[in-house]
Copies of this chain bind each other. A is one copy, B any other.
Amino acid sequence: MKELVFGHQNPDTDAIVAAKAYSYLQNKLGKDTEAVALGEPNEETKFVLAHFDEPAPRVIESAKAEVEAVMLVDHNEAQQSVADIKDVTVTNVIDHHRIANFETAGPLYYHAEPVGCSSTIVYKEFASNGVEIPAKLAGLMLSAIISDTLLFKSPTTTADDIEIGKKLAAIAGVDYETYGLEMLKAGTNLAAKTEAELIEADAKSFEMGGLTVRIDQVNTVDLEDVFSREAAFRAAIEAENKAQGYDLFLLMATNILDSNTRLLVVGEGQDKVEAAFGVKLVDGKADLPGVVSRKKQVVPPLQAAFD
């Protein structure tokens, strides 16, 4: 019985690559799976797919229309998944995030580790099953690790990510430092996008203290590039909060060169944001030095402030 494999909405490089890699592995193990995506590739992922001459995955809106069962990578929370996730059976999950708003009726295969990237865990699945990784797929998985760890500089980076990243670079025959910088810069071409596109491109929703909190991250090599457009960002976020029913929106503008983030916060619960990060918001803005990871440095303290 065919299963679909996919990452979260607003897919980043890991969401798309981990699905491709895990689907490849499952098919080698005798399953019938197809890697799909819950949205179009972003600029960075487009660069990665083009570099390794790999097609973008098919985008789906519904799972139930095609299959009874699915495999999730790089997420588990229902609000980050396909709209009709509750109507299908989740048989496998490969993830590196917290577990929340996730429930199954029966037992399943779930492999999560607190590492920097889902593709690092997928590599371990290849290893424990004794399946070889083709060079092209290794290049894609390396790209996902570089993307999620900002070339091993994010605090989410673990020894496993670095070790496995280097092994994948060797299999792919890629100089990961040169390629990695090129790839990350390809993902920061903000000028080509509208504010409405940018606040949606890498956004995820969270339920906290009864509020729907939306957190988007925009990578840049110059924060002024982002904040010269502040008024337009604010207007786009206000419209989006209204249209989608988000109570609180955090835009993380992250400078990938010096690993600092500036927050732009719109909506209710700003006191929780201040408490979470020990900062004073001025015009809804605050600098968070050394913060680059939504998962590790933003979601946990914010969740704690709401609890």
Residues of chain A touching chain B, judged by Cβ–Cβ distance below 8 Å, are 91, 96-114, 124, 128, 295-296, 299-300, 303-304, 307
Instruction: Quote the shortest CB–CB distance from A54 to chain B (angstroms).
Output: 28
CB-CB under 8 A from A111, the residues of chain B are: 110-112
With contacts A99-B99, A128-B128 known, is A107 near B296, CB below 8 A? yes
**B107 lies within 8 A of A112 (CB):** yes
**B108 lies within 8 A of A110 (CB):** no
Cβ 8 A contact of A106, one of B109, B113, B114, B307: B114
Instruction: Quote the shortest CB–CB distance from A213 to chain B (angstroms).
Output: 13
Assembly CA distance A8 to B208 (angstroms): 28
Instruction: Quote the shortest CB–CB distance from A85 to chain B (angstroms).
Output: 13
Nearest residue (CB) in B for A100 is B103
Nearest residue (CB) in B for A307 is B105
**B106 lies within 8 A of A98 (CB):** yes
In the assembled complex, 29 residue pairs joining A and B whose CB atoms fall closer than 8 Å, in A order, are A96-B107, A97-B107, A98-B104, A98-B105, A98-B106, A98-B107, A99-B103, A99-B110, A100-B103, A100-B104, A102-B102, A105-B299, A105-B303, A105-B304, A105-B307, A106-B114, A106-B296, A106-B299, A107-B112, A107-B296, A108-B112, A109-B112, A109-B113, A109-B114, A110-B111, A110-B113, A111-B111, A111-B112, A124-B128
Instruction: Quote the shortest CB–CB distance from A297 to chain B (angstroms).
Output: 10
Instruction: Quote the shortest CB–CB distance from A205 to chain B (angstroms).
Output: 15
**A101 lies within 8 A of B103 (CB):** yes
